[in-house]
Amino acid sequence: MTIINRRFLMVGAAAATLGAPALAGAQTTGTGDWPKGQIKIIVPFPPGGSTDPVARIIQAKLIENTGWNIIIDNKPGGTGAVGSAIAAKSAPDGQTWMLTFDSHILNPAFAPGLPYKDSDLTNVMLIGRTPQALAAHPDRPYKTFAEVVADAKARPGKVNVGVLGASQALVLMTLIKKENNVDLNLIPYKGGGPLTQDLLGGVTDIGISSLTSFSPHIRANKIRPIGVTGEKRTPALPETPTLIEQGIKGFPSYSWWGVYAPTGTPRPLIDRMNAEIKKAVQAPDVTQKFLEQFNMEILTSSPEEFAAYQKSEQERWFKVIKDNDIKGD
């Protein structure tokens, strides 16, 4: 069963009216002799991390279900901007798609000179999401993030927090500093690997990253979870309170994965791909992999729901970036 974020309900009956009939007939109407040969799914990040394996799990199930010739084309660089530009400039013929991570929608705010515009890419599906996690090195005394805030207020600027540069985590932690009147020392990293290694080594006191990245180290008791950023506790860490529960002012925040197509791709092809990815993701074996490997809440949204979600997320995060003059590095 599809799980829909409450924000998606704000899209309203109009979006549902637009999306439902098209999706119902997507597999039999308007797709003609498509696909014409090889289908390419661009992943604007290198192998490793989470986006590449998410794409490859979906690729395998799509091939199994449809027999299509599908390849994954990794185009890393610029926090996903390089691959996004390639996807945006690809022919809108249904042969090229992009699967990316949540940082994609922040790139226009951090790098206004991008070689593409948001309007050059069309929303296809929000696949799923997972809350971000805050974790402490085990030698540190913190059991909750509220204790981190209390310590940082007693020792301004002395508590170090590892964050990814040009990321939702950086924006969230900047907002938390401001809204909670606390001086945390944010240390930006260019990748999740170095961030995690410094947290494991005690270079930083705490770190924030996707639950996907931290989960193996939490299970191994190498780092201690002290908070999650979602609206409610996650089944993966049922004993770990949300920041909201801890009285921390800020926004709920999630890491997510989504699919885009070059703008101009015919709607029947978008609906067909949406339907096939939904079928693939909701297959029990794929759902189980996403839960075990990524702690992913499956969403499988319509194109309209994904577009509305992106718009609402950009509005709130862009305002925080502008109001606080946050830089991507």
Q: What is the mean pLDDT of residues 72-99?
A: 96
- 6-129+254-324 and 131-228 share one fold: yes
Express each pLDDT in 158-192 by its tens digit.
Answer: 999 999 999 999 999 999 999 999 999 999 998 88
CA distances from 63 to 140, 249, 277 (A): 47, 45, 11
The CATH number of the structural domain formed by 6-129+254-324 is 3.40.190.150
Express each pLDDT in 252-309 by its tens digit.
Answer: 999 999 999 999 999 999 999 999 999 999 999 999 999 999 999 999 999 999 999 9
* Spatial CB neighbours of 95, under 8 Å, sequence gap ≥ 6: 35, 36, 37, 38, 39, 40
The least confident of 13-22, 48-57, 112-121, 200-209 is 13-22
Residue ranges of the domains in the chain?
A: 6-129+254-324, 131-228
- Range 131-228: architecture per CATH: 3-Layer(aba) Sandwich (3.40)
- Max Cα separation, the chain? 67
| Mean pLDDT computed over every residue of the chain | 91
Q: With 0.85 as the threshold, say if the pTM is over it.
A: yes
